[in-house]
Amino acid sequence: MANVSRGALQFANSDREILKAYLPPKDGNDEIQRPFTTLTFATSLDSSLALSPGTQTVLSGPQSKAMTHYLRSRYDAILIGVGTAIADNPSLNCRIEGVGGYGGNGLEGQPRPIVVDPYLRWDFSRSTKVLSLADEGKGRAPFIFCAKEPQEEKVKLLESLGGKFVILGISDTGPLKGRLDWVDILQGLAWHGIKSVMVEGGGTVINDLLRPHYASLIDSVIVTIAPTWLGQGGVVVSPPRRVSAEGNYLAAARLKEVKWHPLGEDVVLCGKL
């Protein structure tokens, strides 16, 4: 095939069409309180994201992987928890043919990686994948959302590549004790000019955001389901169930406006909360 950059992925126009209703508007409003937010991850038939918390597990086949990269080109930012940053050493860039670094101009189409790391557990260096890709002009350097003052040397490294630390207040009482509130995280993203964010994981982050308390923050959900059971002990997507006023158990969450779309051996499920 002519004019295709080495290693770049392709995602068919016909498959793009099915996702349209679940993606951020192309001409978003500048005056936003929070970004358009999509939860998107790959899961097994037993709702596992990975074989164990510290393990990266390939679930998506080639076509759904290309879909994830197409999604990455449609969002301003891609967010993960620090557990994923440590376990996966991910690239968090977009490798679709035609985006910046893969045949396109500058960094056009490359999302901003966001890592939620309140206590600065992620010990990154210039050779950490996401930073080295930023260095090579194949992705953006991350913004790290934290709750404590970072080391000067880490600030310098991150800022030299175009990234930054964003310090937010942490709750010291109530159900959010020791955690960052997602309302603050999303407002912080909007404040830093991010109008759309795709949240990839991991389990802790997705289970948190699927709680009814945060449903109004989520605009869409796009899940790749792979035809495999990972078995017990994995990182499972299973938010806490609800209890009615009468004390009966209720489903934690259910999608509406649902579409199922087969992609290779996987199926992609799109919906709204």
Give least dist CB 205 to ligand LIKH6CAM, A: 10
Among 37, 38, 48, 60, binds ligand LIKH6CAM (CB under 6 A): 60
Q: How many whole angstroms separate alpha carbon 93 and alpha carbon 100?
A: 10
Nearer to ligand NAI by Cβ, of 88 and 97: the residue is 88
Binding status of residue 88 toward ligand LIKH6CAM by CB under 6 A:
yes
| Cβ atoms < 10 Å from Cβ of 1 | 5
Contact set with ligand NAI (CB under 6 A):
41-42, 49-50, 53, 55-56, 59, 80-84, 87-88, 116, 118, 179-180, 182, 200-205, 208, 235
Taking the least distance from each CB to ligand LIKH6CAM, the nearer of 38 and 84 is 84
If one asks whether residue 59 binds ligand LIKH6CAM (CB under 6 A), the answer comes out as yes
Least distance from ligand NAI to the Cβ atom of residue 41, Å = 3
Contact of residue 110 among ligand LIKH6CAM, ligand NAI, none (CB under 5-8 Å per partner type): none
Q: What percentage of the chain's residues is helix, strand, coil (to nearest 5)? A: 25, 25, 50
The H or E element spanning position 79 is: strand 77-81
- For residue 263, the SS3 value is strand
CA 156 from centre of chain: 25
Shortest separation between residue 137's beta carbon and ligand NAI, angstroms: 25
Measured distance between the N- and C-terminal CA atoms of the chain, rounded to whole angstroms: 41
The residue among 149 and 265 lying less far from ligand LIKH6CAM, judged by its C-beta, is: 265
Dist CA 155 CA 163 (whole Å)? 9
Tell me how far CA of residue 72 lies from CA of 55, 233, 240, 246, in angstroms: 22, 29, 28, 43
Binding residues vs ligand LIKH6CAM (CB under 6 A): 42, 57-60, 68, 80, 84, 88, 90-92, 200-201, 224
